[in-house]
Amino acid sequence: MPNLAAETASLEEQLQGWGEVILMTDKVLRWERAWFPLALMSVVSFSFLMIYYLDPSVLSGVSCFVMFLCLADYLVPALAPRIFGSNKWTTEQQQRFHEICSNLVKSRRRIVGWWKRLFTLKEEKPKMYFMTMLFTLAVVAWIGQQVHNLFLTYLIVSFLLLFPGLNQHGIITKYIGMAKREINKLLKHKEKKNE
């Protein structure tokens, strides 16, 4: 398995044509300006409203999405230097681009690690694996049955796009801390009852 630096360098090379767009997207996702979350949610909401209004079939929707990705893959590397000006690429921007690529590699490694742990669990404790998977998939199926597919997808996409900004501004840490305090209070209260 290649080391982190080699994987990061390889990813940087692959994404070089997208550098300016990735940096701008990073600024939007981390909410560097106060109006970025509103703009982000407006674009996501408009996109999902259009999907709801047009009501494309699955095949049409996937085809249009892949066509959009192909157009972006072709046009962005050609147009980005003209729009953003490649001569403005600074050391700070290069460092941030390196950090983003490094974080992407680390995230991919985490996902692969979880995937390997899942298969290790399957081999070492097949009953535990079976029960965990059965319960998890049953809960997901129940949620999918209760909530409309498009609305559920909207919620997931919205959360994933807002997550970096929520994390950057400490909102997630704040609420996780509050949840931990409440759980500790409940546990202490339960211990006092048992005494």
Q: What is the mean pLDDT of the chain?
A: 89
> What is the model's pLDDT at position 78?
83
Q: What is the pLDDT of residue 86?
A: 60
Q: Reduced to 3 DSSP states, what percent helix, strand and coil does the chain have, rounded to the nearest 5?
A: 90, 0, 10
Inform me whether the pLDDT recorded for 1 exceeds 70. Answer: no
Higher pLDDT, 177 or 85: 177
* DSSP structure class, residue 33: S
How much is the pLDDT for 127? 92
Residues 144-186: tens digit of each pLDDT:
899 998 999 999 999 999 999 998 888 988 999 898 998 888 8
Alpha carbon distance 12, 19 (integer Å): 8
| Residue-range domain boundaries for the chain | 1-192
Sequence-ordered list of residues with C-beta below 8 angstroms from that of 81, at least 6 positions apart, any chain: 20
Using an 8 Å Cβ cutoff, are 36 and 27 in contact?
A: yes
Q: What percent of the chain has pLDDT over 90?
A: 56
pLDDT on residue 35? 93
In the chain, count H helices and then E strands.
Answer: 8, 0
Average pLDDT over residues 113-129: 91
- Tell me what percent of the residues of the chain surpass a pLDDT of 70: 96
Question: DSSP 3-state assignment of 55?
Answer: coil
